[in-house]
Amino acid sequence: MLPNTGKLAGCTLFITGASRGIGKAIALKAAKDGANIVIAAKTAEPHPTLPGTIYTAAEEIEAAGGKALPCIVNVREEQQIINAVEKAVKTFGGIDILVNNASAISLTGTLETATKKVNLMMDVNVRGTYLTSKACLPYLRKGKNPHILNLSPPMNLNPMWFKNHCAYTISKYGMSMCVLGMAEEFRGEVAVNALWPKTAIHTAAMDMLGGAGIEKQCRKTDILADAAYCILTKPKTYTGNFIIDEVLLREEGVKDFDVYAIAPGHPLMPDFFLDVEIGTTAVKQEGYGAAQEEKKVSRSQQEGADAAKVKTESAVAMPAGPVAETFRVIQEAVTEEYMRRTQGIFQFELSGDGGGTWYIDLKTKGGSAGFGKPPVTADVVMSMSSADFVKMFTGKLKPTLAFMTGRLKIEGNMALAIKLEKMLSQLNSKL
């Protein structure tokens, strides 16, 4: 953990989305120095599923040693931003730091993304960041060591980060373009930087995206709070940077990263927009397509693959090889217990060798798995490459990681997809 230095004592931070998660973690870190925190967030009344309000966050900030000003702000509403900025200046005498943390997410393809979701992501992520920066800048220019920090990624133009959630990527890169433009526009006056995590961070949003158990693959929000603190205490000449939390903290001398892990020692899931090189070269190699796939299959699977080449001369031949072998083992492993716990029908649309439509029926009496469409309509349809499918079912590729990195597309009941991941962990020993 990065120790506090007291450098933010008396500074005023305007943080959007600070009622929970990453925004609140950054606020609490600054509060330990005795900073003033403007909590600019929507949640005034307790939410049925999400923790915290602007008022509970304010109590925590005050308890940590800071001064808090809770403001109801929906960053889609320009007047609410302006009102909160004016109230902050009236209460604390100015604004020294802006953290654009508020963000909306929908990991859906172009045809699956409702227009209202597109509007939400563009309004919150791009427009909200731009307008909040615009409203704060006149006061930031007068502040002591002023900074704007956007929670947004480096702009990686690898198409894999666009193809499965184009609207979300555009909206997050829009935040990053604000950094690029404003850092140059206000160079010498206000530092403008972007911060992004190297791994997934455990927040309420991550729980919704990944479901139960996802937290073991995540780090705590503390790592971003420490990285943000490090950036915000640097001079304003430190500007125009796209910073990755772990990289910066290593440069600052942090050596123990287990303290940031939810489950120390457990493999961590890389975050979006980073072509991973952190000791997980397999992910990097596989991220650009099947040409770089490792071809490690057992002898029996290889024999099956060879047989498949002969059989494909017949148009009606059923696929053989690693995929068929995997489904054969699944069919044998299906038990009443698995069916009782899962109660779902899964359809797989696989591309590449041994591809086509396959299914696992864990709902109909007796259960079944095999080639073709399921006996009744599937609850979940999963699309991926045959090679990734085999890896997923043999424990070499986590379904959550496959989904996050765009290698697995899921349509239908997401909760059932998460149940399948749990079943896989029990099946791996047999596959």
Q: Which of 130, 139, 168, 338 is catalytic?
A: 168
- Alpha-carbon distances of 329 from 264, 333, 338, 384, 398, rounded to whole Å: 33, 6, 14, 20, 19
How many other CB atoms are there within 10 angstroms of residue 87's CB atom?
15
Q: Are 105 and 153 in contact (CB under 8 A)?
A: no
Dihedral sign, Cα of residue 366, residue 369, residue 374, residue 375:
negative
Are 373 and 387 within 8 A, CB to CB?
no
Q: What angle do CA 322, 298, 295 make, to 5 degrees?
A: 70
Count, in order, helices (H) and strands (E) of the chain: 17, 12
d(CA 114, CA 106): 10
Locate the DSSP E strands across 90-231: 97-100, 147-151, 191-196
Cross-strand partners of 360: 346, 369
Count other Cβ atoms within 10 Å, centred on residue 170.
Answer: 16
Q: Which of 138, 145, 140, 151 is nearest to 178 (CA)?
A: 151
- Cβ(346)–Cβ(378) below 8 Å: yes
Q: Which pairs with CB-CB distance under 8 Å and at least 24 residues apart come from 64-67? A: 64/28, 64/31, 64/32, 65/31, 65/32, 65/33, 65/34, 66/27, 66/28, 66/30, 66/31, 66/32, 66/33, 66/34, 66/35, 66/36, 66/37, 67/34, 67/35, 67/36, 67/37, 67/92
Please tell me what DSSP assigns to residue 199.
B
C-alpha 415/C-alpha 344 separation (Å) is: 10
Q: How many CA atoms lie within 13 A of 306 on its CB side?
A: 7
What does the angle CA 162 – CA 163 – CA 169 come to, to the nearest 5 degrees? 25
168: annotated active-site residue = yes
DSSP 125: I
Catalytic residues: 168
